[in-house]
Amino acid sequence: MLTTGVAVDKATLDFDRVFSYIVPDIFASEIRPGSIVLVPFGRGDKLRIGIVLTVEEKENVSKLKSVVDVKNEDSTITPYALSLIKHLKETTFCTWYEAVKTVIPYGALYKIDGQFLSKQLVRHLKTFYSANTEMDKSLLKTQKQKAVYDFLLTGWYDAKQTADATQTTKAVLDNLVRSGAVITKQQDRGTKAYAHIEKCRDEVQLSHQQQKVYNDVLSINDGKTHLLYGVTSSGKSMVFIKLIQHTLAQGGSAMVLVPEISLTPQMIRLLKEYFGDTVSVIHSRLSHTERLLQYNRALNGQSRVVVGTRSAVFTPLNNLQLIIVDEEHEKSFKSETAPRYSAIRVAQYIARQTGAKLLLASATPSIESFYLANNGYYHLHTMPHRYAGMPLPQVEIIDMSVQAMTGDTGHVSKVVLRYLAENIVDGKQSIILINRRGYQTVGVCKECHHSIKCDDCSVNLVKHKKQNKLMCHYCGKTYPVTEICPECGGEISYSGFGTQHIEEYIQQAIPTARILRMDADSTNQADSHEEMLEAFGKKEYDILIGTQMVAKGLDFEDVNMVCVLGIDTMLGHPGYNSNEQAFNLITQVIGRAGRHSRGAKAVIQTYDSYNPVINLAARQDYAAFYNSEIAYRKLNTYPPFCTMVTVAFTHTNEATAAKDSRAFLNIIKKEVENHSIPLVVLGPVPFDVAMVSKNYRWRLSIKCRNNPAFRQFLNKAIEIYLKDKQNKSSIYVNINPLQE
């Protein structure tokens, strides 16, 4: 009898295995690995969606249930996608369907409709507008019509973009369409934000150091990963463009991964100007429909270049020959929700499977990547000079302790305020990095020193002045601002500072300054990143204040000063990689200044002016920092000298989470004797933030080699844990977590 092995949706970790089902004759010719099926599951035979992993003949099938429906159309999971799903399942300890929903867009899957499967989404189109250049402008009757017409002469835009840019209503646009002054076209929603950017560039002129990297990458074909270490503003992007041009000329396709959506708009514009409509864009803020459209464009061969954030790595490009990971050191390439994958590790798997070249690039390579390059596991390419010979900014470290002794106690020093004002007078722009959003970060009672915390998480609430709310930055819960201590009735004093507070402080000090704030609060609307960066690029603002989304990858001609505030909190953060993250952030934001002109400056405010991390970053001395950091990690056996694995336990009762973590430790101790696996186990201990969303969190930390033998060992330990019904806590595994 023909049977199939199925991974079922909504299966918890303890039930997440491959279940066998009979394939009725009516479906025998349709079913294959990757098919989406509807199957009865559990005691009540409730219908569940599943994916077919195996198809085989079996004899003893009397106890097996039968498949109810099969879908085997264009959205069926391809062998390529199925291999990625299996890879995620094996390497991240997720469930089968957590992997499926990561690799396959929501719209490509199905929903249950009675006894059948039906599509989730339908295809959507959007209208874009442009000026009819054959129109006689004298026929335009009003100033508003003229404004809209002139704006649409510059390209294709949707109705909202047109109305916002010209301060008019859609009625004006509709009248122009009826009169024939404006023409329209229908376009996939998936390309709406960049529909007006047309192919307009071909030639790429490389410098000597750029040409050398380009030639070297193309000449090496041994399958190893390439690492490009180039200082900020050395021109790495143009090397990418030249490599993509070569790839397309060979009939291949290319993928460009960037960290965080804030980096995407400028990279998208560059790629669109060179490669036009062959570019697809994929990031986390796309709607389900938009992501499906981009996914299908790649699957059908319409897209030959994909640019996007972490999830774009799963895009099914035809004949993939080149993968570029820009700012490869960035932590946002690592997912901290299931499946907890690294986009770089997935890209390396894809490169091995497809034969594509993989190029990692950064001005501050991760310690792990640079170690592998220095020891021959990667090919190292360097670009030590800024493009066109531009010097790095002059960096000044301001000791806030010394400033306080002179009476300068503000969150932004008088020196920085003077520099900002002078920069505005000179017609230049400034970027200020403060890696905390909100207004004030701590509320403490003056009498009993009770701090205002989230009821559901063990973290302080942050005051957001504009919303007049206290907000938890872990679970998102909000509270009214209170001035009275709930413990003793004393007065609550709010202190600390975030982006909102710095914006207000500078605006009061420099009333004429045009300030743009860019953080998670101000960029929560669709396309807001693109619009903000475009406005700053047009010099509609003098100062850009933001969290780390303003620190990396941005290139503005008139930015001649950057300032780093509040970096001390990062340096004091627990975790073996906190110094690396602080060094990278400082180095990257300094590199935003003086990319097109001389005389740029950067200022770092700190209470720890002798800190070696700050001073090495100020000197942009990556080599010295790497040598110091790699010695520390070797001494303490941290990555790259091991893999750090967190096994986490969560429960609404703290004692239960603690008990279950100790039970798992005992399982590991017994199993390690049977498997002879070299490892070191630390803990169990509570997480630094012990409670999130009313769930207490305990963890074991394991130093190990992340190879198939270890993963088999850990899977066995998890299986034993889940079989013991006395263990009530949820369990998950995180490989090389961002914070240990």
pLDDT digits (tens, 9 = 90+) for 266-296: 778 889 899 988 999 888 777 777 788 888 8
What is the reported pLDDT for 424? 94
Q: 245 phi and psi, to 5 degrees?
A: -55, -45
- Strand, helix or coil for residue 162: helix
C-alpha to C-alpha distance for 471 and 139, rounded to whole angstroms = 54
DSSP notation for 463-494: EETTTTEEE-TTT--EEE--SB-TTT--BEEE
CA dihedral of residues 653, 659, 660, 666 (deg, nearest 10): 170
Interval 80-111: pLDDT, tens: 999 999 999 999 999 998 999 999 887 667 77
Q: Which fold has domain 208-388?
A: Rossmann fold (3.40.50)
Contact indicator for 228, 359 with CB cutoff of 8 Å: yes
What is the reported pLDDT for 383? 94
Domain boundaries, the chain: 2-119, 125-194, 208-388, 390-437+497-632, 440-496, 643-735
The residue assigned the tokens 């999130």 is 692
What is the reported pLDDT for 501? 86
What is the reported pLDDT for 194? 61
CB neighbours of 511 closer than 8 A, spacing ≥ 6?
A: none
Token pair in block for residue 368: 């792990």
DSSP state of 457: S
Q: From the options 3.30.365.10, 3.40.50.11750, 3.40.50.300, 3.40.50.620, give the CATH code of 390-437+497-632.
A: 3.40.50.300
- Strand, helix or coil for residue 634: helix
What is the reported pLDDT for 739? 65
Peptide bond into 339 cis (omega under 30): yes
Q: 207 phi and psi, to 5 degrees?
A: -75, 175
Token pair in block for residue 603: 């200022």
What is the reported pLDDT for 107? 66
| CATH code 3.30.70.100 for 643-735 | yes
The residue assigned the tokens 């999971």 is 77
pTM, two decimals, is 0.85
pLDDT at 398 over 50: yes
What is the reported pLDDT for 164? 86
pLDDT at 122 over 60: no
pLDDT band of residue 165 (cuts 50, 70, 90) is confident
Residue 7 burial (C-beta neighbours within 10 Å; 0-12, 13-18, 19+): buried
C-alpha to C-alpha distance for 707 and 716, rounded to whole angstroms = 14
What is the reported pLDDT for 713? 93
C-alpha to C-alpha distance for 692 and 689, rounded to whole angstroms = 7
What is the reported pLDDT for 360? 98
- Strand, helix or coil for residue 651: strand
What mean pLDDT do residues 696-713 have? 94
CB neighbours of 146 closer than 8 A, spacing ≥ 6?
A: 137, 140
Task: Label residues 431-449 b or e (16+ Cβ within 10 Å = b).
Answer: bbbbbbbbbbbebbbeeee
For the chain, what is the largest distance between any 2 Cα atoms, rounded to a whole number of angstroms? 88
pLDDT band of residue 124 (cuts 50, 70, 90) is low
What mean pLDDT do residues 48-69 have? 90
- Strand, helix or coil for residue 36: strand
Contact indicator for 234, 363 with CB cutoff of 8 Å: yes
Contact indicator for 664, 598 with CB cutoff of 8 Å: no
Number of residues that this document lists for the chain: 740
Lowest-pLDDT choice from 17-26, 87-96, 386-395, 620-629? 386-395
Domains 208-388 and 390-437+497-632 alike in fold: yes
DSSP state of 732: E
What mean pLDDT do residues 137-142 have? 82
- Helix residue ranges per DSSP H, 355-435: 367-374, 400-405, 414-425
DSSP notation for 540-601: S-SEEEESGGGTSS---TTEEEEEEESTHHHHT--STTHHHHHHHHHHHHHTTSSSSSSS-E
Interval 166-180: pLDDT, tens: 888 888 998 899 888
Contact indicator for 126, 188 with CB cutoff of 8 Å: yes
Amino acid in position 131: A
Radius of gyration of the chain (CA): 28
For all residues of the chain together, what is the average pLDDT? 88
Interval 237-272: pLDDT, tens: 999 999 999 999 999 999 999 987 556 677 788 898
Token pair in block for residue 715: 């899977």
Interval 183-235: pLDDT, tens: 988 765 554 456 666 677 778 889 999 999 999 999 999 999 999 999 888 88
Token pair in block for residue 650: 């969560």
Tell how strand 182-188 and strand 253-257 pair up: unpaired
* Sign of the Cα pseudo-torsion (93, 95, 99, 105, in order): negative
Give the whole-number percent of the chain exceeding pLDDT 70. 94
Interval 148-164: pLDDT, tens: 998 998 888 888 889 88
Contact indicator for 508, 500 with CB cutoff of 8 Å: no
Contact indicator for 263, 326 with CB cutoff of 8 Å: yes
**Pick the residue with more confidence: 302 or 495?**
302
pLDDT at 355 over 80: yes
Interval 452-506: pLDDT, tens: 999 999 988 988 877 888 999 888 899 999 999 988 999 988 877 788 889 999 9
What is the reported pLDDT for 196? 60
- Which of 516, 510, 509 minimizes the C-alpha distance to 542? 516
Q: Which fold has domain 2-119?
A: GIY-YIG endonuclease (3.40.1440)
| HSE of 133, CA atoms in CB hemisphere, 13 A | 4
pLDDT at 420 over 80: yes
Interval 311-350: pLDDT, tens: 999 999 999 999 999 999 998 899 999 999 999 999 999 9
* Sign of the Cα pseudo-torsion (95, 96, 100, 101, in order): negative
What mean pLDDT do residues 661-674 have? 92
Token pair in block for residue 38: 């509807």
DSSP notation for 98-118: HHHHHHS-GGGSEEEETTEEE
- Which of 101, 78, 79, 77 minimizes the C-alpha distance to 89? 101
**Pick the residue with more confidence: 605 or 111?**
605
What mean pLDDT do residues 57-65 have? 88
